[in-house]
Structure 1
Amino acid sequence: MARCLGSRSRLGPRRPLLFQLLLSQPFLRHASANAKWGNPLSHSKPTPSQLLRFALTGTTQPARHESFTSHMDQHLRELFSEQWPSDNPPPLPPWSSLQQRTTGSHKKAVLKALKGSTKSLQHLRLLIENNVNDGQGGALLQTERCRFLAQTLERCQRHDSYGEILSTINVIITRLGRLGVPISHSLFTLGMYYSCLAFSASALKWHLKGYLSLGPERLDPESSAPLVEALNISLRLLSFQEPGYNTSEMLNIVTGESTDGDFSEHNLHSIMPWANHEDSPLPVGQYLSLLARLRSKQVLQEVWDRTLKGLGPDSPPHVFQSAYDCVEALIEVGNSSKATAHLEEISKCANGSLPGLSKFRGLRSVLAAEGMAQVLPQLAGKEYLSILETQLGNMEKRLGITWDRQKSVHTSISNPPCISSKQPLLTVDGDSTGYGSSVRLIAEIQALGCSKSMLELGKIVDLLDEYGGDQVHVSLSSKEAAHYDFSWFPERSPIAFSNSLSLEETDKPKPWSPSSLGLLRVRPHNDGIHLAVERSLHLMQLGYLVVRPKLTHQVDLGETQRWEETGHIVTWDRVFGRFVSIFVGKSCGDLEPDKPWIVADPSLGLDAVMTISPGNDLLDQIDMNPPFGNSGRGYCVDVDPGPDLDL
């Protein structure tokens, strides 16, 4: 199994910056005062890959040699043992001369590079080194509120981690300061955005301080929404990667609240649109969810109270959905009593009803909350019948049947002429009505796939055994895929790893383990180095993907087109609730853990990692972002240890 990086690799810009410093200046420079100085020539100069490995893992040795400590490791630890001050930006790498001025020809070249040709931090560093050496160059870098710089950094995500991008922004700000170039609010906003993606409270604090130093300008909606989304994504991933992670430091930066009761006036909330006592035109649901996940009390209550003031029986549906978002987030963090109290307040505002709750995407988690079943009939009022109907429809899908309103009978969901009313779901001789439908399999995965209970995930594994040998049509949205038919062949854990025991290799088939459940972790990498756990995918294997050309009128319908393996397996994303196909080079068998994969030129309309839609409906297909979404992305696959799981 791949070695898991410590939490510092996700949060701190120190190690990625250390790599930049080592590459950009003579060896032995900026050494610790405690280092034992010797002859520089007595130590061989490390390669760039060794420096990056040391910066991220603390050793220059590959994982298979981690028990061995080299002289180079010891020397680097002595040289770089000091901590960066937590309240100051890292020092500026001595990029080349600051005397070169930006000319008109350079201006065109810089804009062209920022608009498309710069795709890695290394390229960006060279671009800035050669062109940002005066006021004109600094202003050029911040053109159109840093729009082009932001696009460049987004492209850099293919090769570099959020922490490394954040370090680069820190260095840019420091460089502009040395040049005496005015720094815009937009550049600090960009720094805050990557601080949120990396979930670094210290970095967010530093960039927020810089933003406020320019004047208390309120963030516009286009800037606020990405910050909230980034923090929500980071928190959702943390709940799977590090359950129980202490978010109090981030809470203090976002809202000013602290565990000791003190309140800081310099906080992110103070410049957000929702801090205004007037009604904000922005939907408040995701912001309420963020405050709930951070376990805010004071600010959450303030924003919630203002939300209730605008809530009434005739309020638009999206207003109620925003309120339900907050309820769902409170349930996620274990505060069911507060969630119930919020539903009571919503019901009062809506004259004893909960409008639109039956259509809320998080209805399942609301119904599963402790004590909710007892109070919901009274709170929901006339909406309760719609809730029951929605739940009945979900249950019917999980049984493979549907209700025919015209005939008032249940029929097979995949074969409507087959009536199932007054018929057993499964007879002794194996006949069934709808029980073998792929809709039933999909509905069960959607119902249980995001559960943190091994027993519930185990039910999916058992169901995959039932559907072994079947095939499920898969829809793809890409134009290239229009010429092919794709199918998913359900199978439990088609991919195994040599360093993990499979279910068949153990004497105790249950309780389940992450390996026997087929859980995978997909992490981006660059040159064999895991970039960070910040963008991991947490997946459950469901089978593999096959393809064949679409039949045309020239082809004899009697001819059978053979299915061909694509090298992709079909999985379920346990964090974001979506079907994902991922390329692993084979459909089944043993896989070498930590083997890097990259598909630079996808064929057949398939990316290396992409969302898919089992069945014929593309409407439910969820965008691949976050956290993967780029062709050409390198990644490694291993067993997900599942620290979030319980029995």
Structure 2
Amino acid sequence: MSSLLHSRSALLSQRPLLAAFRAPPSQYRPGHVSVNVSGRALYTTILKPTPSQLLRFALTGTTKSANDHHHPSSTELDQNLSEVLLGDWPRNSPRPPLMRISQPQTERRGPYVGIYVAMTERRYLGDLQVVIEKYVNNEKDSLLFQTEEGLTFLERSLRHIRRRTSYGEVVSALNAIITRLEGLSGLCSERFYVLGMYYAALALSAPALERFMKGYLVVRSEPAYLSMRDSILLVNALLDSLHSLKFREPTPDTSAILNLVTGTNKSTDRNLQNILFRTAQHPTLFTAKYICLLVRLQGGTIADKIWHCSIRRLKPNSPDSWFQHAYVCVAALVDTGDVPRAIRYLKQVSRRANGRLPGISEFGDLSCLLTSDAISARLRQLAGEEEYPKVLEVQMSQMEDRLGIRWHPEKSRHMSASGPPLVASGKPLLTIDDDPTGYGNVRCLLAELKALRCSRSMADLGRVATLLDEHEGKIFPVMVPKQRSNMKFALSYRRCPVQFTNVDLPVTTDASKPWTPSNLGLLRIAFDNTKAPLPGERSMHVMPLGVLSWRPASNESRWKETGHIVAWDRVYDLLVAIFVGNIYKSHNTNEQTINPPSQERNYGLEALATVSLPSDGDRKLPSYSKPRLATRYHLEVDPSPDLIP
């Protein structure tokens, strides 16, 4: 190793540099880096190595770090350095001006504007690190970079970059940036530590979260409470990470995160709970979310203490929102299987409301509560005589939607929910010789999804697959974001529209065979990290429902397929359109990498977008799931370790 380092270092001192490296900054030769988006270059970067890149090239023969194996600009820089340093040069060539290379670049476009402009142009993590290394070289640079403007540009740059890289790599880069700032100026702004905590929460990294939290406590004066906004962002990030994690690891070990959040097994008071925003002693959205976090981390004892504190001022005439926030905590307990504690919480709410559960019939996750037979049996007693009939009415309406019928009070009878107005009252729900009223209603399937929410039951997903077979080829109108007024879109039901060579997918449902992720058609969508799938932390877990079609709004011409499938996002309970091109048109293909076209060439549709029903409002795809427009992604059969019988 020492001889290799000596030989490569000798080359650096013996060979002259090309004019591109001796020229002033204004004369540097730009290298255009293509990022494979509609064949256009997204940005231009100057191929001038930083000191760390020169050292890495001397040690390893490449400027690429462990995190950018496919980085286009690193590859071109390697070629340039090889031409400069490893070629044959005349013996009498003058010595190169090495000092000019090692000196930090001090060029500025205006009062420290250069770094901000450069950061906004970055699309790769390695580029961002090179920019910071180029511009931040002394204490003055460090202090200027830590201003509110510098943080804003860094946050903006990371929002672009994180769509192409894993959260773990972002956390590693933030740690390097903060360490550099600490080394140059002694301290770092608290806002940088808060940003680090946020990305550490998304990565669910206990060591990184602890490192940034300790740095925050060092520079933050007492009391060191986070703002309400930062507290909510941090708790939401942890909740989202835990929620998506259970779709990859059914029984993850979260004890390290719990200890860091609550300080359970530590004598020090340096824990996340002690710096979160302090709320009033009544149920609030933030308190409910934090209790949910503790519940999912299995911190039941501490959750009980905060729960009792939050319901002290709960009274019969308290605002409806207070009760809704309390029910959120109960639903989290049911979802994690802690039904006894959930019943105890409901009893305490009912006692403070004089034997009622105000507004529980309007609770969005009521179906989750009713999945427990123990809660269903006690609900009439706890909810009260006024609220319980409303609960039954809500459940009855949901059942009617799933059967494809609807109650018409003016006629005092059930009718078909769509199509010809057929009377359903007095007729059996299931028949042998004829289809029951409501059968064939395409809304039935979507009503089933609405009732299932984020179900991880194999039997539940099997019912959806059966409905897809029953409604094969039927059209249902849908809406897409920013839909053009001269276009109509529709979902054409089809089970397993994407198939792979190594997976046997039956054409129709065979009730004698057990359900598996492959015959359910479950897919995992992994976003691209320059030709390689990102780690599972950024994956989408979906169940395809069919293909997306369009036609002009002005006539009733034939529907044309857009190249998208419509799928049910099992993690976030959303309908999403996913561009797959012609994959679903050719059976038994092993094509898995998708290069979506530009939005202009794709009927105005993004590669990934939410799909809504005409009667529903628009729902946005979570920012931590949505990739940048035209970013490459990969499709594969979802192993679905989260599924239960």
Q: TM-score range by the shorter chain?
A: 0.7 to 0.9
Corresponding residue of 1:168 = 173
| Alignment partner of 1:404 is 2:416 | no
Structure 1 residues 342, 112: closer, same or farther in 2, change over 3 A?
Answer: same
Letter of the structure 2 residue corresponding to residue 336 of structure 1: V
TM alignment of 1:465-614, pairs within 5 A: 465-479=469-483, 481-503=484-506, 510-551=513-554, 560-586=556-582, 587-588=584-585, 589-592=587-590, 594-601=592-599, 603-613=602-612
Percent identical: 38
1:541-600, Cα deviation, whole Å (9 max, x unpaired): 11111111211xxxxx5xx41211111111111111111111111244334254243444
| Maintained 8 Å contact 1:398/1:443 | yes
Corresponding residue of 1:455 = 459
1:168 match: secondary structure: helix
Structure 1 residues 102, 329: closer, same or farther in 2, change over 3 A?
Answer: farther
d(CA) in 2 for partners of 1:137, 1:148? 15
Larger Cα-atom Rg: 2
Counterpart selection for 1:380 from 370, 380, 383: 383
TM alignment of 1:287-366, pairs within 5 A: 287-366=290-369
Counterpart selection for 2:396 from 388, 392, 397: 392
Range that drifts further, 575-584 or 503-512: 503-512
Structure 1 residues 440, 506: closer, same or farther in 2, change over 3 A?
Answer: closer
- Give, in angstroms, the shift of residue 468 of structure 1: 0.9
Corresponding residue of 1:84 = none
- Give, in angstroms, the shift of residue 298 of structure 1: 3.6
| Alignment partner of 1:236 is 2:243 | yes
d(CA) in 2 for partners of 1:142, 1:631? 30
Corresponding residue of 2:132 = 128
Any unmatched runs of 5+ in structure 1?
A: 1-19, 30-39, 56-95, 552-556
TM-score, normalised by the number of residues in structure 2: 0.81
d(CA) in 1 for partners of 2:103, 2:327? 54
1:299 match: secondary structure: helix
d(CA) in 1 for partners of 2:552, 2:65? 43
| Maintained 8 Å contact 2:465/2:520 | yes
Corresponding residue of 1:634 = 632
Counterpart selection for 2:425 from 421, 425, 431: 421
Corresponding residue of 1:434 = 438
Structure 1 residues 365, 608: closer, same or farther in 2, change over 3 A?
Answer: same
| Alignment partner of 1:191 is 2:215 | no
Name the count of aligned residue pairs: 560
1:178-212, Cα deviation, whole Å (9 max, x unpaired): 21253111100000000000010111011111111
d(CA) in 2 for partners of 1:534, 1:496? 24
Structure 1 residues 310, 192: closer, same or farther in 2, change over 3 A?
Answer: same
Counterpart selection for 1:149 from 142, 149, 154: 154
d(CA) in 1 for partners of 2:177, 2:609? 33
2:112 match: secondary structure: helix
| Two-structure CA RMSD over aligned residues (Å) | 2.8
Structure 1 residues 506, 310: closer, same or farther in 2, change over 3 A?
Answer: closer
1:159 match: secondary structure: coil
TM-score, normalised by the number of residues in structure 1: 0.81
- Give, in angstroms, the shift of residue 361 of structure 1: 1.4
- Give, in angstroms, the shift of residue 123 of structure 1: 2.9
- Give, in angstroms, the shift of residue 393 of structure 1: 0.5
d(CA) in 2 for partners of 1:169, 1:333? 33
2:196 match: secondary structure: helix
Any unmatched runs of 5+ in structure 2?
A: 1-49, 72-100
Letter of the structure 2 residue corresponding to residue 25 of structure 1: L
- Give, in angstroms, the shift of residue 120 of structure 1: 2.8
d(CA) in 2 for partners of 1:508, 1:427? 19
- Give, in angstroms, the shift of residue 113 of structure 1: 3.8
Counterpart selection for 1:247 from 237, 241, 254: 254
d(CA) in 1 for partners of 2:580, 2:363? 36
| Maintained 8 Å contact 1:354/1:383 | yes
- Give, in angstroms, the shift of residue 141 of structure 1: 2.5
| Maintained 8 Å contact 2:53/2:63 | no
Letter of the structure 1 residue corresponding to residue 363 of structure 2: F
1:286-327, Cα deviation, whole Å (9 max, x unpaired): 222111111113431222112111322122222111111111
1:416-473, Cα deviation, whole Å (9 max, x unpaired): 8433222344555545432221221110122236322212211111111110121010
| Maintained 8 Å contact 1:98/1:134 | no
Counterpart selection for 1:445 from 449, 457, 461: 449
d(CA) in 1 for partners of 2:242, 2:409? 43
Corresponding residue of 1:206 = 211
| Maintained 8 Å contact 1:208/1:268 | yes
Structure 1 residues 297, 506: closer, same or farther in 2, change over 3 A?
Answer: closer
Structure 1 residues 362, 449: closer, same or farther in 2, change over 3 A?
Answer: closer
| Maintained 8 Å contact 1:102/1:132 | no
Structure 1 residues 508, 468: closer, same or farther in 2, change over 3 A?
Answer: closer
d(CA) in 2 for partners of 1:98, 1:175? 17
d(CA) in 2 for partners of 1:327, 1:372? 11
1:387 match: secondary structure: helix
Corresponding residue of 1:619 = 617
Range that drifts further, 153-162 or 116-125: 116-125
